[in-house]
C-alpha cells in the first residue's frame, strides 16, 4: 500500500485566498434551512475535519439558478450521501467539488468553496491538480475503449506514476472487487465487461490515481442488487482512507452506507416552472431518517415528494 499523503495538516498551513477572519459561528454544518445572510461575504473553513466546505454556494447554468446558497461541510473519512428529488441539483453540487462544471459552457458559481482550506473556484487553483486529488465515478459506467489494464493504468500514467504499474493495476482492481473476475483477461477491451463490472472498473480506475476524495454520482443506478452490494461493501472499506460523497436516489442505500446525509430540495417553482435546489437538511444519517427536522425532508423520505 502506498502511503497516502497526510492531508490533515495542510489546512492550517495552506495560505488561504480568503481573509483569515475569526470563525463565524455555526455556518458550516448542520443547519436545517439554507444559511442565508447575503451580507456576510467570507466564511473561512471552520473545522479542519471538513475536507470540502461550501458557503452560500449558488450555481447558475447561463441565467438559470440551479442551486441557491448551499452551505455544507463534508467530513473527513466519512461517507456523505446527497439525496433529493430529480433535478434538485445533486449532480450540480457534486460537480462543483471537482470543477467539472467548468466544462459546461455557461455554468458559473457564486459563493465559496474550499478543499482542504483552499479556494476551489479561484482562478489560481488548477482544476487538473484538483481533479487528481478529487476523483469521480459517474452515473453511467464510462470505461475507455481500451483494454481493462489500460483503463486502470491510464489515469495513473498521465499523472506520472513511477511505481510498478502491474502491481498498481492489480491492487486497484482488487480494491474494486473486480480482480477475480478479470485477472485472466486484462488485455481484453473494458467494453466487453458487463455493466456492473464496467462500473467497478471505473471505480478501480479512480482508485489507481489515489485521490483523497471520491465523488460518486449514482454509482449503482445501472447495477443489479449483487453488484450494488459489492460497491457498497467497497465504499465501506474505502472509508478509512478516503472521503466519499455519494449521490443516490435510493433511500435504503443512503441509510446503509452513509454517515451523514444532505437532503436537497427544490424550492417553490418560479413563473416558468424552473425550480432551484436548496439544502433542506444536513444531519447524521440516523437522525435524518428517524427524526428529520425539516418538513420537506420528512415528506421526501416518507415518499410524499419525489
Partner 1 sequence: MTNKTEPETNRSAWSGPSRLRSAQGAVTALVLFGCALITIVTTFLILGVLGGETISFFRVSKIGLIEFFSGTEIDFKSARPRFGLPPLIWGTFVIAVGASLVALPIGLLSAIFLSEYAPERLRRVLKPTLELLAGIPTIVYGYLALTVITPWLQSVLAPLGIRVEQFNAFSGCVVVGIMIVPLVSSLSEDVLSAAPRSLREAGYALGATKFEVATRIVLPASFSGVAASFILAISRAIGETMAVVLAAGSLAQIKLNPFTSIETMTAYIVAVTNGEASYGSPEYLSLFAVGITLFFMTLCLNMLSGAVIRRYREATP
Ligand X SMILES: Nc1ncnc2c1ncn2[C@@H]1O[C@H](COP(=O)(O)OP(=O)(O)OP(=O)(O)O)[C@@H](O)[C@H]1O
* CA angle (109, 115, 121) in 5-degree steps: 25
Residues 97-126 that bind ligand X (CB under 6 A): 104
Question: What is the three-state SS of the chain?
Answer: CCCCCCCCCHHHHCCCCCCCCCCCCCCCCCCCCCCCCCCCCCCCCCCCCEEEEEEEEEEEECCEEEEEEEEEEEECCCEEEEECCCCCCHHHHHHHHCCHHHHCCCEEEEEEEEECCEECCCCCCCHHHHHHHEEEECCCCCCCCCEHHHHHHHHHHHCCCCCCHHHHHHHHHHHCCCHHHHHHHCCCEHHHCCHHHHHHHHHHHHHHCCCCEEEEECCCCCCCHHHHHHHHHHHHHHCCCCEEEEECCCHHHHHHHCCEEEEEEECCCCCCCCCCEEEEEEEEHHHHHHCCCCHHHHHHHCCCCC
Stretch that binds Mg ion, among 53-61, 87-95, 228-236, 259-267 (CB under 5 A): 87-95
Nearer to partner 1, 23 or 106 (CB): 106
Residues 23-62 that bind ligand X (CB under 6 A): 61
Distance of alpha carbon 150 from alpha carbon 50, whole angstroms: 34
Nearer to ligand X, 75 or 306 (CB): 306
Positions that interact with partner 1 (CB under 8 A): 98, 100, 103, 105, 128-129, 131-133, 135-136, 138, 140, 142-146, 154-155, 158-159, 189, 191-192, 202, 205-206, 209
Nearer to Mg ion, 91 or 147 (CB): 91
Distance of alpha carbon 188 from alpha carbon 133, whole angstroms: 29
Which entry of ligand X, partner 1, Mg ion, none binds 87, CB below 5 to 8 A by partner kind?
ligand X
Give yes or no for residue 88 binding ligand X (CB under 6 A): yes
Give yes or no for residue 92 binding ligand X (CB under 6 A): yes
Q: In the complex, what is the shortest distance from the CB of residue 112 to Mg ion, in angstroms, rounded to a whole number? A: 23
Give yes or no for residue 306 binding ligand X (CB under 6 A): no
Among 89, 143, 211, 292, binds ligand X (CB under 6 A): 89
Q: How would you classify the pairing of strands 64-75 and 260-266? A: unpaired
Among 10, 14, 87, 189, binds ligand X (CB under 6 A): 87
Q: In the complex, what is the shortest distance from the CB of residue 84 to Mg ion, in angstroms, rounded to a whole number? A: 10
Among 57, 66, 74, 120, binds ligand X (CB under 6 A): 66
Q: In the complex, what is the shortest distance from the CB of residue 223 to Mg ion, in angstroms, rounded to a whole number? A: 16
Among 29, 80, 91, 151, binds Mg ion (CB under 5 A): 91
Q: In the complex, what is the shortest distance from the CB of residue 95 to partner 1, in angstroms, rounded to a whole number? A: 9
Stretch that binds ligand X, among 4-12, 49-57, 89-97, 291-299 (CB under 6 A): 89-97
The residues binding ligand X (CB under 6 A) are 61, 64, 66, 86-92, 104
Q: Which residues bind Mg ion (CB under 5 A)?
A: 91
Amino acid at each position: 500500500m502506498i502511503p497516502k499523503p497526510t492531508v490533515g495538516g495542510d489546512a492550517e498551513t495552506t495560505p488561504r485566498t480568503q481573509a483569515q477572519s475569526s470563525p463565524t459561528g455555526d455556518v458550516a454544518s448542520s443547519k436545517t434551512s439554507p444559511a442565508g445572510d447575503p451580507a456576510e461575504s467570507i466564511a473561512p473553513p471552520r473545522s479542519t475535519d471538513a475536507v470540502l466546505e461550501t458557503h452560500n454556494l449558488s450555481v447558475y447554468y447561463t441565467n438559470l439558478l440551479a442551486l441557491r446558497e448551499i452551505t455544507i461541510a463534508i467530513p473527513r473519512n466519512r461517507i456523505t450521501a446527497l439525496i433529493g428529488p430529480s433535478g434538485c441539483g445533486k449532480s450540480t453540487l457534486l460537480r462543483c467539488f471537482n470543477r467539472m462544471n467548468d466544462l459546461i459552457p455557461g455554468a458559473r458559481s457564486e459563493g465559496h468553496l474550499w478543499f482542504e482550506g483552499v479556494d476551489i473556484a479561484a482562478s489560481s487553483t488548477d482544476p487538473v491538480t484538483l481533479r487528481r486529488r478529487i476523483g469521480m465515478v459517474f452515473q453511467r459506467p464510462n470505461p475507455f475503449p481500451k483494454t481493462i489494464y489500460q483503463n486502470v493504468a491510464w489515469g495513473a500514467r498521465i499523472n506520472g506514476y513511477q511505481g510498478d504499474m502491474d502491481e498498481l493495476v492489480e491492487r486497484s482492481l482488487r480494491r474494486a472487487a473486480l480482480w477475480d473476475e478479470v485477472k485472466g483477461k486484462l488485455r481484453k477491451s473494458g467494453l466487453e465487461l458487463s455493466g456492473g463490472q464496467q462500473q467497478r472498473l471505473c471505480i478501480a480506475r479512480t482508485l489507481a490515481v489515489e485521490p483523497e476524495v471520491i465523488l460518486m454520482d449514482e454509482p449503482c443506478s445501472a447495477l443489479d442488487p449483487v453488484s450494488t452490494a459489492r460497491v457498497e461493501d467497497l465504499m465501506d472499506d474505502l472509508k478509512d482512507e478516503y472521503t466519499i460523497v455519494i449521490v443516490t436516489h435510493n433511500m435504503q442505500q443512503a441509510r446503509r452506507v452513509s454517515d451523514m446525509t444532505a437532503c436537497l430540495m427544490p424550492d417553490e417553482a418560479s413563473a416558468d416552472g424552473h425550480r432551484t435546489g436548496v439544502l433542506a437538511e444536513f444531519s447524521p444519517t440516523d437522525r435524518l431518517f428517524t427524526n428529520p427536522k425539516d418538513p420537506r425532508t420528512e415528506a421526501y423520505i416518507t415518499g410524499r415528494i419525489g
